[in-house]
Copies of this chain bind each other. A is one copy, B any other.
Amino acid sequence: MRQFVLLAHDAPTEPDFSLDDLPGAGRLDLLARCITSAFLLSHELREDVRLWLVIRDRLTIRFEGAHLQGLNPDERSTAALVGAALERADEAVGHEPVESTPGVYVSRRTLEGTLRDCSGEGTLVRLHEEGPPVVELEPPADPVFVLSDHRSLTADEESLLADLAHESVRLGSRRLHADQAITVAHNYLDTAGYRRF
């Protein structure tokens, strides 16, 4: 399985944002593109993918490829799925998630809780625009890619990642947006073993 943990520093925790201004809603445009990049292929959905959207270290929305329904490629409808999850956040008690739409689960879970759960399930790889290029990394069987939105990590997040991440890499020679990094990470794994110029 491929997993992505996406840190959202400015995203709303309430559903009262405007679908007409996603950049103004804590860069929900970027977060929506990350979600679609993680799951959608041309005429196909990657079922073997899980994405954790960790909002302000308070709420986590989990997207499960095996159960997802109603995910379309555009930003607006994807942001609406996030909004539907936020509508149900009040019902999430303790660590128990609430399913807001098929394959989307919201819970009161911190970054640390999410990362500790994931690290038991695979190799935690931090995708970071200033990390070393991914030339020496043999693609792990069950990668958990950790990446940030448009913000740098806080000191606390840096320290947590330093403890928990197994690798820190960037995927090319240029600094990519988070959604582009997800697309390239998938392609890197899809084409493992290809020779290239």
What is the interface of chain A, defined by CB distance below 8 A to chain B? 19-20, 22-23, 29-30, 33, 37, 40-44, 72-77, 129, 133, 135, 137-139, 150, 171-177, 180, 183-184, 186-188, 190-197
Q: A175-B41, A177-B40, A183-B183 are in contact. Are A195 and B20 (CB under 8 A)?
A: no
Which B residues lie within 8 Å of A33 (CB)?
33, 73
Contacts of A175 in B (CB 8 A): 41-44
Partner of A172, one of B44, B177, B187: B187
Chain B residues positioned under 8 Å from A41 (CB to CB): 174-177, 180
Contact B177 A76 (CB under 8 A): no
Report the nearest B residue to A74, measured CB to CB: B29
A177→B73 contact, CB < 8 A: yes
CB pair B192 A42 closer than 8 Å: no
**CB-CB under 8 A for A29 and B184, given A133-B191, A174-B41, A191-B172:** no
